[in-house]
Structure 1
């Protein structure tokens, strides 16, 4: 099962009151894909990788739970955006003691790039 890990961009292009739908797989990366990306982009050591993996796994589960809440309770995209932004802030707080300053900067760039890519994909789909 592909766990949605970095989903924010696809669903948060607009903050509408319509109910969000579960994200298509093309907008989600598995935790293994995310770890591969981070391993390469951040140059993670084995020790860092062992500490980052649980953060990514927990994040994936929390994001999956957030989408379930949206589906079951009819939370708007605005509510989803708030949930996902909180998860992202929590991720950064957990990763800060694991990664050095340069790795954190690169992690933030990675996140921004993922969000931009998903927003562009969502925009293209609407055409």
Structure 2
């Protein structure tokens, strides 16, 4: 049976929020599946569009290692890397972004409610 585990989701989001890196513009469309003691985490991570594939992969790996070190479960990850779009500029905290098209407006705090949404976050 599919059942939500709000405590587990809260724990994962708390780890991400407390250890958030500036380069991680957004995390959304997160889904967690449990197979016995094993977890499968699927999510989208928005990174600067101008990153090389290697840079983007390294940032994704940092997030994966962070979760693996802080969640006391066996975890398999499937992260989809999204490139940032101009709609991300108002929430992007990269102060020296060489291609910023819009001013920074606010930092979006990641919560279980907004990280599980399918759409990228915006300042609205």
Place the TM-score, normalised by the shorter chain, in its bin.
0.3 to 0.5
Higher relative contact order (CA 8 A, sep 6+): 1
The structure where strand makes up a greater share of residues is 2
TM-score normalised over the length of structure 1: 0.33
TM-score normalised over the length of structure 2: 0.33
